[in-house]
Amino acid sequence: MSEVEARMEELVNKITPGKRSHCLSWALASSLILLQTANARPEEVIVHNRLSACTALEQMGTSTESNLLIVDANLLVKKPTSECGCFSASVTYTSYLTQRGSKDILQLGQINVLRPGAKKLVLSSDAVGVSGHPLNLDLACTPPR
């Protein structure tokens, strides 16, 4: 038994039996919450690309980091976004849920489309809240300031 394991066993033995079950219940509940967060995924991510003639976004999968829902994607650049009516090489993305006819915006962001390659887009700051629901992702020109 390692020194760390021995110390842990010593600490567990100091807890009275009644409190021990309470501590184990708390540890189990905490583990389940962490597991739920780690497995939180939308049903699917539906991309609505208004700039498909200029750019494409290939989804590589979703992940969670500190409860943030992230889509890993590969950005393809077909031609300059100015040819699609944009005033800059920055594209705005909006993620949202559609529930009961209402569009609930989750996250807005911008990505530079001068260079193709790997991108990480934050889709929601609450991964658990979108779990099991289809999530929409709009790509559009960034409006002028």
Query: pLDDT tens, 112-134?
Result: 999 999 999 999 888 777 777 88
Ramachandran region of residue 100, left (φ > 0), alpha (ψ -120 to 50) or beta?
left
- Written as one letter, the residue type at 4 is V
In a 10 Å sphere around its CB, with 0-12 CB exposed, 13-18 middle and 19+ buried, how is residue 83 labelled?
exposed
pLDDT of residue 6: 67
Question: Contact at 8 Å (CB) between 68 and 124?
Answer: yes
Span 24-44, pLDDT tens digits? 554 544 444 443 444 455 668
Place of tokens 């943030």: 68
| Extended beta strands in 78-116, E state | 90-99, 102-112
Question: Could you tell me which residue, 141 or 134, shows the higher pLDDT?
Answer: 141
* pLDDT above 60: residue 23: no
pLDDT of residue 3: 63
How high is the pLDDT of residue 129? 75
Q: What is the pLDDT of residues 41-81, one digit of tens each?
A: 566 889 999 999 999 999 999 888 888 889 999 999 999 99
